[in-house]
A and B are shown apart, each in its own frame.
Chain A
Amino acid sequence: EPEVTQTPSHQVTQMGQEVILRCVPISNHLYFYWYRQILGQKVEFLVSFYNNEISEKSEIFDDQFSVERPDGSNFTLKIRSTKLEDSAMYFCASSEGTGTYEQYFGPGTRLTVT
Chain B
Amino acid sequence: SQQGEEDPQALSIQEGENATMNCSYKTSINNLQWYRQNSGRGLVHLILIRSNEREKHSGRLRVTLDTSKKSSSLLITASRAADTASYFCATDYVMGNDMRFGAGTRLTVKP
Which residues of A come within 8 Å of B, CB atoms? 31, 33, 35, 41-45, 48, 50, 55-56, 58, 89, 91, 98-100, 102-108, 110
- CA gap between A42 and B98 in the complex, in Å: 15
Tell which of A55, A99, A105 touches B42, judged by Cβ atoms closer than 8 Å. A105
Is the pair A103, B99 in contact by a Cβ cutoff of 8 Å? yes
* B75 lies within 8 A of chain A by Cβ: no
With an 8 Å Cβ cutoff, the count of chain B residues facing the other chain is 25
Number of A-B contacts (CB under 8 A): 61
Pairwise interchain contact A56-B98, C-beta atoms closer than 8 A? yes
Quick one: closest B residue to A89, CB to CB?
A: B40
Binds A, one of B55-63, B76-84, B101-109: B101-109
B68-111 interface bits toward A, Cβ cutoff 8 Å, 1 = contact, 0 = none: 00000000000000000000101010001111111110000000
Tell whether A42 pairs with B101 under 8 Å between CB atoms, given A99-B30, A99-B92, A102-B48. Answer: yes
Is A102's CB under 8 angstroms from B45's CB? yes
> Is B33 part of the contact surface with A, judged by Cβ < 8 Å?
yes
| Complex interface: chain B residues within 8 A of A91 (CB) | 42-43
A34 to chain B, nearest CB (A): 10
Asked whether A105 and B99 contact (CB < 8 A) given A42-B3, A43-B88, A100-B48, the answer is: no
